Amino acid sequence: MLGLARIPSAGVRKGQIVDIESTARTINECLNELERLTGVEVLSTLLGFSGISIGAVSNHAMVAVGNPNYEIALEDKERVLHSARSIALPPDKTILQTIERQYIVDGFDGVRDPVGMVGGRLEAEVTIIIAATAAVQNMQRTANRINLHINQIIYNPMLTGEAVLSPTEKDMGVLLIDIGAGTTEISLFQEGTITHTAVLPLGDEYITKDLAIILRTSPEEAARIKERYGVAHVEMAKDEVSINVKNLQGKDAQQVSQRMVAEIVSARVNEMMEIIYSELAQLASWDRIPGGIVISGGAAQLAGICEVMQEYFNMPVRIGVPDNIRGMGADFNSPQNAAVLGGLIYAASNSGARYQVKEKGVSGIRNSISDWIKDLFR
C-alpha cells in the first residue's frame, strides 16, 4: 500500500450528511494528506455508501432469450436485470445498487453468470439496495464541491465483506456486523452475496457519548479512555487500575476506576446487542448459519466485545480483520479500515471501475499502483 490517511469526520450524523460544507472540507483534507503521502493526485473514486435510510428488497424477473440459437448474450442478461430493477418506489427513494444473487436458466438455478450458456428462458434473483434520494444527492454534491468524480457508489457491507469474509463463509452463510461510529450495518451473506441487510442508527459514538456525559468530560477525552481502558464486560476490569479523567477545560479533574468505566461501556454494549438481536429476529434463518458472526468496524477493537457477542447470540463470533490483501502492514490491517481496503479489492476485481490518477512528483507511480494491485491477486 502506498499510503492511508485518516481524518476525524465532520458534518455527518448517523451516517447521514448534515453539513455539506464541513463534510467536503473533511474529505478534501483527507485527500490532501493522502496525496502528500503517496505523491498521487486523486481525481476520481469508488464511493462506499451507507446510512439509516438504507433498505433492501428481493425481486425476481424472467425474460425469453432473444438469440434464435438460444445462446444467452450480454443483452439478455442486461434485459433481465433491467426487468428485476423495475420496482415501484416512492419519489423520495432511489435504487442505490442491484446485487445479483443468482440466475436460473431453463429452471436450473445457481448460475453465477449466464452469458454464453444455452437456454430459452433466463431468470434473475436480485437484492435491490434502496436509499433516500436526498442522502445520495447530498453525497454527490459534497464530492462536486471538491471536484472529485464518483465512478461508482457501492453499498458499504459489500466492500467490507470483500476484505474480511472468505468465499466459503459467503457461500455457506455468515452474518457480518459492522459497527461504525454512528451506524451499525447488519448483513446476511448466503450463496456468495448479501441476501438481507439493515442499517441501525447507533454505533461506537453511542458508547463514547455516554462516557463523556457520565464522566463530565469531552468526547475526545471519552474516546481516549474508551480506546485505552474500555472493556465490554465488567468482569474484565481491574479495580486497582485508576484513570485520570480531564474535565471539559482539559485539566485533570478526577480519578475513576476501570471498573466504573467498564460498567458504563458494558451497559451500552448490552443495549446495542438487544437492538441488534431484535433486528435479527426478523430474519427466519439467521440463527442457522455455519459461518457464525463476523464483527468489523471501529467498535470491533473494543476489548471483550467478541466474547460478549458470542455469549449473547450463542454462536461463534470472530473479529473481521481485513487480511484478504497480501503484504498489508499491521498498522493498516485493522477492522476500522475494512471498508476502505475492501473498496481496493472491489475496484481491482471489477474491470468496469476505472480510476484516474495524475502523476505528481514521483515518476512512474501510476504503473507501480497498477502493478501492485495486480500482484495482490496472483
* Per-residue pLDDT, 119: 94
DSSP state of 166: -
Strand partners, 186: 177, 198
Length of the chain: 378
* Residue of 317, 347, 337, 30 whose CA lies nearest to 160: 337
pTM over 0.85: yes
At residue 365 the predicted structure's pLDDT band, cuts being 50, 70 and 90, is very low
**Exposed e or buried b per residue across 244-260, where buried means at least 16 C-beta atoms within 10 angstroms of its C-beta:** ebbeeeeeeeeebbbbb
Side-chain-side CA neighbours of 367 within 13 Å: the count stands at 3
* Per-residue pLDDT, 371: 43
* Per-residue pLDDT, 350: 75
CATH number for the segment(s) 55-133: 3.30.1490.110
pLDDT tens column, 321-363: 988 777 666 777 888 889 988 998 888 887 444 444 344 333 3
Strand partners, 155: 49
* Per-residue pLDDT, 372: 39
State the Cα angle at 302 between 298 and 304, rounded to 5°: 140
Assigned C-alpha cell, 1: 500500500
pLDDT tens column, 77-132: 999 999 999 999 999 999 999 999 999 999 999 999 999 999 999 999 999 999 99
pLDDT tens column, 44-67: 889 999 999 999 999 999 999 988
Tell me what the mean pLDDT of segment 264-270 comes to.
94
At residue 2 the predicted structure's pLDDT band, cuts being 50, 70 and 90, is low
* Per-residue pLDDT, 288: 81
Strand partners, 177: 186, 295
* Per-residue pLDDT, 1: 52
Instruction: Give the SS3 label for residue 373.
Output: helix
Sign of CA dihedral 192, 193, 198, 202: positive
Strand partners, 284: none
Question: What is the residue-averaged pLDDT of the chain?
Answer: 87
Spatial distance between the Cα atoms of 240 and 272, rounded to a whole number of angstroms: 28
At residue 150 the predicted structure's pLDDT band, cuts being 50, 70 and 90, is very high
* CATH architecture designation of domain 168-333: 2-Layer Sandwich (3.30)
pLDDT tens column, 200-242: 999 898 899 999 999 999 999 999 999 999 999 999 998 888 9
Query: C-alpha distances in angstroms, 117 versus 63, 103, 120?
Result: 15, 11, 10
Contact between 178 and 156 (Cβ < 8 Å):
yes
**Domain chopping of the chain, boundaries:** 55-133, 168-333
Assigned C-alpha cell, 112: 453465477
Distance of CA 71 to the CA centre of its chain: 37
* Per-residue pLDDT, 369: 40
In this predicted structure, the answer to whether residue 185 has a pLDDT above a threshold of 90 is yes
Spatial distance between the Cα atoms of 44 and 31, rounded to a whole number of angstroms: 11
pLDDT tens column, 237-250: 988 889 999 988 87
